Amino acid sequence: MREIGIPHPRLPLPPAGEADEPATFLAWLGEAIPMVEHLGIEAMRRDGDTLEWRLALAPSLNDKGTGFGGALTAQTTLLGWCWTTLWLRRHGYDRDVVVAEAGQRFLAPVTGDYRLVCLPEAEEGIERLAERLESRGKGRIALVQQLWWGDTLCLEARGDYAVLPAR
């Protein structure tokens, strides 16, 4: 049981050059952030600079039988946090990440299970983040999240994620 004001222990970094095992990371995430178990995340995969979740709609239904905007917004924000955290871990950084700014546009109702994808907003975003971490010990990256139900883009979100200095 999590306690207010008490940080959850960090997941140990994977061996150098290796990526996190998705199941291990998702299990840790569910312990660290209790609401995760209620989001309907069924799978997570990385493809290059893209992080994708597959989600069930049932846990996020609204009174109209479609996706609840607040739940979908929380999912896009958390996916961006996971993208940043996993990128840092893959590059050997054990750092805290916070969302600095987030916004979204709802384009169509979500009426079935869906997928969320997250990627850097700009091609040079990753390079700038790496440079700032090296020179300043902290950094920031802008990410875009898209929610797809089949071939329909239902939600597009954007967030700035700040990487805090080592503690």
For residue range 30-55, list pLDDT tens digits in order. Answer: 999 999 999 999 999 999 999 999 99
d(CA 160, CA 48): 20
Q: Which residue has the tokens 């799978």?
A: 43
Q: What is the mean pLDDT of residues 77-106?
A: 96
Q: Which pTM was predicted?
A: 0.95
Break the chain into its structural domains and give their ranges: 39-163
Token pair, residue 130, equals 């790496």
Look at residue 1 and tell me whether its pLDDT is greater than 80: no
What pLDDT score was predicted for residue 83? 98
Q: How far is CA 152 from CA 65, 95, 149, in A?
A: 17, 35, 5
Q: What is the pLDDT of residue 113?
A: 98
135 band by pLDDT with thresholds 50, 70 and 90: very high
Q: In this predicted structure, what is the pLDDT of residue 45?
A: 95
Which residue pairs, CB below 8 angstroms and at least 24 apart, start in 60-65? Answer: 60/110, 64/109, 65/111
How confident is residue 5, by pLDDT bands cut at 50, 70 and 90?
A: very high
Q: What is the distance between the alpha carbons of residues 5 and 62, in angstroms, rounded to a whole number?
A: 31
* 28/13 Cα distance (integer angstroms): 12
* Architecture of the CATH domain 39-163: Roll (3.10)
Average pLDDT over residues 76-99: 96
